Structure 1
Amino acid sequence: MTIAEQYENLVKTIRAYNPAADFDRIRAAFEYADKAHENQKRKSGEPYIIHPLAVAQIVAEELRLDSESIEAALLHDVIEDTAATHDEIAKLFSPTIADLVEGVSKLTRIQYATKEDEQMENLRKMLIAMSKDIRVILIKIADRLHNMRTMEYQSPAKQKQKSLETMEIYAPISHRLGMQRIKWELEDLSLKYLDPVGYEEIVSKLSVKQREYEAFMQRTQIQIDDRLNELGIEHIVYGRMKHPYSIYRKMFNQNKSLDEIFDLFAFRVIVENVGDCYNVLGVIHDIYKPILGRFKDYIGTPKPNGYQSLHTTVMGTDGIPFEVQIRTRAMHEIAEYGVAAHWKYKQGGQGAGTEGKYEWVRRLLENQEGADAEEYIHSLKVDMFSDEVFVFTPGGDVQNLPAGATPIDFAYAIHSAVGNHMVGAKVNGRIVTFDHVLKNGDIVEILTSKAGKGPSRDWMNIAKSSEARSKIRQWFKKERRDENIANGRSAFEAELKHCGIAMRDVLAADTLPGLLKKVSYPTLDDMYAAIGYGGFTAQKAVSRMQGELNRIARQHQAEKAAAEAEAKPARPEEPKPPAPKQVKSEQGIIVEGLDNCLVKFSKCCTPVPGDEIIGFITRGYGVSVHRCDCPNASPAKRVQPGQEGRWIHVSWGKNTNESYPTTLEVVCKDRQGLLLDISAALSSTNTFVLGIQSRSTEDQFAICRLEVRIRDSQQLAALMRRLNQISGVLKVNRPAG
C-alpha cells in the first residue's frame, strides 16, 4: 500500500465513526509530518512517515479518538526526531496538540547516570502529562503497539529490551485503562521475543487443534443461543480462546503442559440491561454446572479501571470447563476500549473528558516523591500493575489494594494519620497481626491510639502499596531526622569499608562537591537522612561515587609520579636492562613458565577476570583453569598422590577476552512475575544471557540457574547485587565443584 493509499484509508476510518472530524487540519498535520520526516527511514527501509500514519490508524480504528488525537498521532515524533519545536507546533496547530506531542516525546536531550534513572524520568514525565490529558498515554500505547508489530527489523538485544519494557509497563497500563484487546496483543508480541520457543510451541499446538476447538465453541454457542432465544432475552453471544500469553502464564504458574489446561475458552453474552445480566447468569447456571469459588460480580463492585461484567466458570456438557462473561452493551464498550470509550469529542475537539476518574495517576506521582529510580519503577509495577484485592471498612465502603496487601496498607489508604497512629487491626472481628494478608471481601477495622509511637521501620518491608511505603517514609523523614542521619552515616561507612574506600577520600574538600553532585544531594547529611529513612541506599551512593573516586585517585597518582620525577637529581646515563620477555596470554590467561599452551576454563566453577585462579595440567588438553575456591582445586586435592607438579600458578593477563561464560544460581520464593524481574536485572546490567533454567520445589521455592557471559568480576558483582535486590530472592551464588 502506498503512502497516499494509507492516508486515504485513515480518512475513511475516521469518517466512518466521526464524520464531523476536521479533515483539513488532519491533512495539514499529515503534510507537516511528511515534510519533517522526508529524509528519514525506518529500520525496515520504509519511509519514516509510514510509522506516524500507522499510529494514527491505530488511534482511529482501535480507539476511535477525536481529531486532536489523530493530529497529535501524526505529529508524535516531530519534536523528538526532527527540528520541530513545541512553539512551532502550538502556533501551526494548537497549544493542546503541542502538549500532546510533547507528552509523548521522550527526554532525549538529557544524560542520565543509569538506565533506570532515564526510564524513571521518562515514565514520570509521561504520567505528569497523562494526569493533565489522558490522551497522551493513549497515543503512546498506539505508538508502542505499532513498534511491537514491526519489531522483527530490530536487533535481538533491542527486541528483548523493548519487549520487556512493553510487558512490564505498557501492557499493564493498557490493563489499568481497561483496553483489553490492546493489552492482549502487546503481551503476545512481547512473549514472541522474550520466549520465542515457548510462544511458538503454544501457537503451533493451538493451530493443530484448531478444528477440534472451533467445533466445541460452536456447539456451546448454539446451546446458549437457543436457550436465551426460547426465553426471549435479546442478546449477542460469541466464544473466543484465551490468547497465547494468558495460556503461557497459566502453564508456567501451574507447571502444566497445554494438554493439561482445560479452561482455554471464554464466552461472552452481551445483553440490553443490568437485569438481563443476572437473568442470563441464572440461565447459564441452569444449563451447566457452576464451579464453586469461580464467580465474580464486577457489576456490583467494578474494577478501578471502570470494567464491569459478571464472570462465572462452568463445566460444559463435554466435561470441559469454560468461562462465561455477561455484560451490557455499554459495559462491553468500556471493556474493549477502556478509558478511550469516554473520549467522544465533538468537532473542534470540544467535549468533556473524564480524567477525574483517573485520580490514581496523580496518586502515583505523589507517592514516588523521595524515591530513587529502582524503587520508583518497582513501586509503579506494584501500584499500577498488580492484581487487586477488594476489602471493606466497618461502614461498608470498598477499598481496593494491591494483591498481598496487609492492614498497614489499608490503614494508610484510609488516611496517613490513621496509619501513623495504628496500634492494632481486626479482620472480620478478629485481632490479626500487621503482616496478615487481606482477602477479597474482608471487613477491616484499624485500632488507633493517640499515644501510639508511630510506624516501625519493619512496616516498610510489610507494606505492599507504594502509597503506604511513601507515607511511612515521609513520617520518618519528618519525625526522626537525627536518627536517620546517624543510621544513614553508619550504613554508608560500612559500605565504603566493604568496597575498600577510606572515608577521608570522600570528605576531602576538593572531592566532596563532585561526589555530592553524583548522588544529587546538597549535603552529606541530606544523603545520610535519605539512606536512614529508606529513600536511597548506601550501595547506590557508593557505586555512584566510585567512578569519581577512582578518577581522582588516578589523577593524584599521576601528579605524585610527576613530582617525584622532577625531584630526582640528574644522573649519568646507565645502560638499560634488557626488556623483559613479553609473555603471551591465551584467552587472557598467563601460565607461569609456559608460552603458547592450550588453555581451557573449567565448567565446574567458570572463572571470570578478577577471580583468584589456579591451573591444572591435564593429559592432552592443556591447562585447565579453576577458581581457587573451587572444591576441585582445594589444597587437599593438590597434594593427592599423582598430582605432584600438575598444579601450576596462572594469572589474568592484560588482554582478556570481551566476555567469559559463567553460571549463577538464584534461590528464591516462588511467585508470579519472578522470571520477568530476573530478566529485567539481566537487561539493566547489560548482561548477555546464554540460557535460563528454573525449577520449583514442593515447599514453594524456585531455583533459577543463569548461564551468562561476563566481562569481569566487577560486572558480576553488580549483577549479583541487582539480583539480590529482587523481592523474594534469598541467595545468589556461583556454583563450584
Structure 2
Amino acid sequence: MSPSEQAQATIPSDETVPDYVCALEKAAHYLPPDQIRQLRYAWTVGAAAHVGQTRKSGEPYITHPMAVATVLAEQRLDVETLIAAILHDTIEDTPLTRATIASEFGETVAELVDGVTKLDKLQFQDRQEAAAESFRKMLLAMARDLRVILIKLADRLHNMRTLGAQSSDAQRRIARETLDVYAPIAQRLGMNLIKAELQDLGFRALHPWRHSVIEKRIRTQPVVRREAMVKIEAQLAQRLTKEGLAYRLVGRIKSPWSIYNKMRIEQKSLDQVMDVFGFRVVVPSVPECYHALGVVHAVFKPLDGRFRDFIAIPKANGYQSLHTVLFGPYGSPIEVQIRTEEMDLIAERGIAAHWSYKHGGDLPNSAQNRAHAWIANLVESQRATGSSLEFLENVKVDLFPDEVYLFTPKGAILALPRNATVLDFAYAVHTDVGNHAVSARVDKKLVPLRTKLVSGQTVEIITAKSSSPKPQWLEFVVSGKARTAIRHQLKHLEHEDAVQLGHRMLDRALENLDTSLDRLPQARLDAYLGEHRYPRLEALLADIALGNRMPNQVAQVLARQVPDTPDLLDAARALQVEDKILITGSERGVISFANCCLPIPGDEIMGYHTAGRGIVVHRLDCPNVAEYRKSPERWVPIGWDREVHGDYRTGLRIDTENKPGTLAQVAAAVAASNSNIDSVEYVDRDVHLSTMRFIIEVRHRKHLAEVIRRVRRLAVVHGVQRL
C-alpha cells in the first residue's frame, strides 16, 4: 500500500487534530488534497515515534518538527521536503529506522531525513569538533539534494524562536553559531527572509540590552522622520505613475542587527545610521528596472559612485537588483533598490523559490544553479581538508557577504570574497592553476600574486610548471578554496621531502655500522615497523626527518648492535664520524633556518634535530650553539650542496643619514642587486643619524657581499653590517 493509500486509512479526523497540525495544513494550502493527507499521515507516524518525549519548554517534542515543516510550507516547499521535516529527528531520537521511512514515504524522503540527522553515534574530542563534523556531513548531503539545508535552516530558525527554554550559556553558544554559520549560509543561498530573522534572534540572544535599545529606537521613530518618509514616497510614486510604469513601492526599515553591524563596522553613531531612508521599487520586467532607475534619478540627484548593477552582474547567491543612493530633500541619503517580481521572490526566498516559481531554477544566474556551484566547490574543498574544524573555518571564510566581481580574459565572471588576491583568483579558476601560479596580468599590467583585487578587473594568471605553493601564500589568501588547496599541497610536498631526507639520514647512520637499508633483512625491518606502529617504511623515514626519532638510535636497533635504548654518548660519537647531509634547497618542508642567525649558503653551519620541526639549521658562530652542545645526540652534521638553489633570508644593520629619501635610496640599491626586501624597521633614530634593520633574500654569501658593496657606495650610508 502506498503512503497516500495508508494515509487515507489511518489519518485522524479534523475534530481530533491539534492546532499545530491545522497551522501546517493552512500554510501548505497550495498542495493538492492527496498530498495534504500524506502530511497528516506523516504527523501520525512522527507523533507515535516521539511519544513521551518533551522539549525543554515542556511541550510534546512533535511540536518542534511540525513547526519546522510549517516554516518550510510558508516558503511553499514540495510535499517530500515537508514530510522529511516532520520526521527529521526520528532516526536520531526514536526507534524509527531509515528503512521504515523509505518503505513508508519513499527513498527521497529517507535520504533527506538521513542528511539532516546529526552524527550522535560517533565519538569526538569535544562539542566543537562534533558540530564541525555534523556540519561537514550536512554539506555533503546538500550536494546530493539542496533541500537538506532548507530543512536544517528551518530547524535552526524554530530552535532560535524557542531559545528561551535553554540555559544562558547554551543560548549564547547557539546564538553565536547561528550568527557565524547558519545566517551566512542562508544569505549565501539567497534566503533573505530566513537570514534576517536568524540574525535578529541571534543578536537578541547574544546582546539583549543592545538589541532592546535599537529596537525601541526603530519603534519610536520621531514624527518628523515618519512625515519625511511619507513625502519622499509620495514624490517617487507620483513620478513613476506619470511615466506609466506598473510598480510596487515599499519603504524599507532596517533590522536591529543590520543597524548594529553598520555602527560597529563603519564606526557610526545610532543617529547617523538611523538617518537613512530606504525604498524598494518592484516592476514587471528588466527594461522597466532601468526605466525606473532613470525616473528616481530625475526626482532626486544620485550620489556619485554609489550605483551598483546586480542585474547585469548578479551576486554569487543569485541576487539581482539595481542599487542606487540619492541625495534626499532633508539632507539624508535615500537608498533605493529596483528589481522585478521574480528577482524580489528570489531575493526573499533564494533557492527555496525554485520549488514555488516555475522559472526559478532554469535561469543561468538562478540562486539554485549558483548554490549548486558553491556546494560543488565545498565538496571539492572538504576532500582535501585535514580536519572538520579546518573545513568549517574555511567555509566561514567563504561566507563573507561582501564580494568582488572579476573577469577572466574570455569574459567569464568570478565572484570572490572581499580583499581577495590574485592567488585567490588563480585557485578559483582551477586548483592546478593556483598551484603553479607565478604572477598575473591585471588589466594587462604585470602584478605579483599577493595583489588585492577590486571589482571589474580582468585577471590573467601566468603559470610555470616548476612553481609550487609556498607557506607564505597562506598569509595573504582569503578564500577557503585557496587556503585548503595550499595546505593540502604543502602537506604533500613536506611529506615527500621528509621521506627523502629521512632516507638519507638513516642510510648514512647505517653506513657507519657497515650496513644499509637494502641489506637489512625484511623480517627485521617489518618487526621494527610493527613494534613502533608504523604502517609503512615511509612513515618511519618521515618521523626521522621531523626529529621524532634519532637516525642513529634507529640504525643501531635495526643493525642489532645495541638494544632499543642506546647510550647517548655512543650515539653522539657515531654522529661525529657520520658524513654530512648536504642541503640542495628542495628540503624546505623539513629543514628550516634559525631566525636567530639566518644562515645562508656559504656559511659554516650545523643542524639541530627538533621534535616536530625536523632539522633547524644554525650558523656555527651563532650564540645559541653553545646551548645546543649540551644535547650532542641531537646534532646533525650538515653542509651546503655544490649546487644549492633558492633564496635565503639574512639580516643587515645599516647606519644612514637621517634625511628624506634615504630609505628609498637604500631599497633601490638592494633591488638593483637582485635581492628582495622581506622587512625593514628603524632600530634607532636621532636628528642626524638613523639605524635600520633590513631582512633581505639572497642566494649565497657572494650575492650578499654584492648587496653590501652596492649599499656601501651610497653617500648617505655610513656603515653596513650583517646581523
Q: TM above 0.5, one fold?
A: yes
Q: State the match for 1:449 in structure 2.
A: 464
Q: Does 1:420 align with 2:435?
A: yes
Deviations 1:369-396 (A, max 9, x none): 2322332121010123442211112222
Q: State the match for 1:43 in structure 2.
A: 56
CA distance in 2, matches of 1:40, 1:139: 21
Does the Cα contact within 8 Å between 2:190 and 2:367 map onto a contact in 1?
no
The alpha carbon displacement at 1:46 in A equals 1.4
- Aligned with 2:28: secondary structure? helix
- Aligned with 1:234: secondary structure? coil
Match of 2:73 among 49, 56, 60: 60
Q: Does 1:228 align with 2:240?
A: yes
Deviations 1:178-231 (A, max 9, x none): 000110110010011111221112112222326444333322221111111111
Q: State the match for 2:105 in structure 1.
A: 93
Q: State the match for 1:307 in structure 2.
A: 319
Q: Does 1:247 align with 2:265?
A: no
- Aligned with 2:471: secondary structure? coil
Q: State the match for 1:396 in structure 2.
A: 411
Q: State the match for 1:202 in structure 2.
A: 214
Q: Does 1:432 align with 2:447?
A: yes
The alpha carbon displacement at 1:260 in A equals 2.1
Does the Cα contact within 8 Å between 2:421 and 2:451 map onto a contact in 1?
yes
Matches within 5 A, 1:246-395: 246-262=258-274, 264-344=276-356, 356-357=369-370, 358-368=372-382, 369-395=384-410
CA distance in 1, matches of 2:269, 2:419: 28
Match of 1:12 among 5, 13, 26: 26
CA 1:296–1:512 in structure 2 vs 1: closer, same or farther (change >3 Å)?
farther
CA distance in 1, matches of 2:16, 2:35: 23
Does the Cα contact within 8 Å between 2:319 and 2:367 map onto a contact in 1?
no
- Aligned with 1:293: secondary structure? coil
The alpha carbon displacement at 1:510 in A equals 14
Deviations 1:253-306 (A, max 9, x none): 122221122454321100011110001111111111211221110100011211
Does the Cα contact within 8 Å between 1:251 and 1:261 map onto a contact in 2?
yes
The alpha carbon displacement at 1:20 in A equals 5.7
Output the amino acid matched with 1:289: K
Q: State the match for 2:513 in structure 1.
A: none
Does the Cα contact within 8 Å between 1:242 and 1:265 map onto a contact in 2?
no
The alpha carbon displacement at 1:89 in A equals 0.9
CA distance in 2, matches of 1:485, 1:80: 44
Q: Does 1:159 align with 2:171?
A: yes
- Aligned with 1:359: secondary structure? helix
Q: Does 1:32 align with 2:24?
A: no
CA distance in 1, matches of 2:18, 2:131: 36
Bigger shift: 207-216 or 254-263? Answer: 207-216
- Aligned with 1:446: secondary structure? strand
The alpha carbon displacement at 1:121 in A equals 1.2
CA 1:475–1:88 in structure 2 vs 1: closer, same or farther (change >3 Å)?
same
CA distance in 2, matches of 1:169, 1:438: 26
CA 1:70–1:214 in structure 2 vs 1: closer, same or farther (change >3 Å)?
farther
Q: State the match for 1:125 in structure 2.
A: 137
Does the Cα contact within 8 Å between 1:262 and 1:320 map onto a contact in 2?
no
CA distance in 2, matches of 1:207, 1:153: 27
Does the Cα contact within 8 Å between 1:21 and 1:67 map onto a contact in 2?
no
CA distance in 1, matches of 2:76, 2:166: 29
CA distance in 2, matches of 1:2, 1:150: 26
Paired residue total:
503
CA 1:524–1:87 in structure 2 vs 1: closer, same or farther (change >3 Å)?
farther
CA 1:21–1:179 in structure 2 vs 1: closer, same or farther (change >3 Å)?
farther
Output the amino acid matched with 1:405: A
Q: Does 1:171 align with 2:183?
A: yes
Output the amino acid matched with 1:359: A
Output the amino acid matched with 1:319: G
- Aligned with 1:291: secondary structure? coil
Does the Cα contact within 8 Å between 1:262 and 1:321 map onto a contact in 2?
no
CA 1:243–1:513 in structure 2 vs 1: closer, same or farther (change >3 Å)?
farther
Does the Cα contact within 8 Å between 1:104 and 1:140 map onto a contact in 2?
yes
CA distance in 2, matches of 1:531, 1:460: 26
The alpha carbon displacement at 1:529 in A equals 6.9
Q: Does 1:465 align with 2:479?
A: yes
CA 1:267–1:21 in structure 2 vs 1: closer, same or farther (change >3 Å)?
farther
Moved over 6 A (4+): 486-489, 509-516, 527-533
Matches within 5 A, 1:712-727: none
Does the Cα contact within 8 Å between 1:390 and 1:399 map onto a contact in 2?
yes
- Aligned with 2:248: secondary structure? strand
CA distance in 1, matches of 2:322, 2:544: 47
CA 1:108–1:20 in structure 2 vs 1: closer, same or farther (change >3 Å)?
same
- Aligned with 1:426: secondary structure? strand
Output the amino acid matched with 2:176: L
Structure 1 regions of 5+ residues with no counterpart?
Answer: 347-352, 490-508, 540-737
The alpha carbon displacement at 1:513 in A equals 9.4
Structure 2 regions of 5+ residues with no counterpart?
Answer: 1-14, 359-365, 504-525, 549-723
Matches within 5 A, 1:79-90: 79-90=91-102
CA distance in 2, matches of 1:529, 1:210: 70
The alpha carbon displacement at 1:485 in A equals 5.8
The alpha carbon displacement at 1:429 in A equals 2.5
- Aligned with 1:113: secondary structure? coil
Deviations 1:655-679 (A, max 9, x none): xxxxxxxxxxxxxxxxxxxxxxxxx
Bigger shift: 312-321 or 428-437? Answer: 428-437
The alpha carbon displacement at 1:64 in A equals 0.8
CA 1:409–1:31 in structure 2 vs 1: closer, same or farther (change >3 Å)?
same
Bigger shift: 76-85 or 150-159? Answer: 76-85
Q: State the match for 1:692 in structure 2.
A: none
Output the amino acid matched with 1:335: A
The alpha carbon displacement at 1:307 in A equals 0.9
Deviations 1:682-733 (A, max 9, x none): xxxxxxxxxxxxxxxxxxxxxxxxxxxxxxxxxxxxxxxxxxxxxxxxxxxx
Does the Cα contact within 8 Å between 1:297 and 1:309 map onto a contact in 2?
yes
CA distance in 2, matches of 1:49, 1:385: 35
CA 1:56–1:487 in structure 2 vs 1: closer, same or farther (change >3 Å)?
farther
TM-score (norm 2): 0.65
The alpha carbon displacement at 1:354 in A equals 8.5
Identity over aligned pairs, percent: 44
Output the amino acid matched with 1:468: A
- Aligned with 2:304: secondary structure? strand
Matches within 5 A, 1:618-629: none
Does the Cα contact within 8 Å between 2:317 and 2:367 map onto a contact in 1?
no
Does the Cα contact within 8 Å between 2:138 and 2:149 map onto a contact in 1?
yes
Q: State the match for 2:497 in structure 1.
A: 483
Q: State the match for 2:202 in structure 1.
A: 190
Output the amino acid matched with 2:317: N
CA 1:468–1:488 in structure 2 vs 1: closer, same or farther (change >3 Å)?
farther
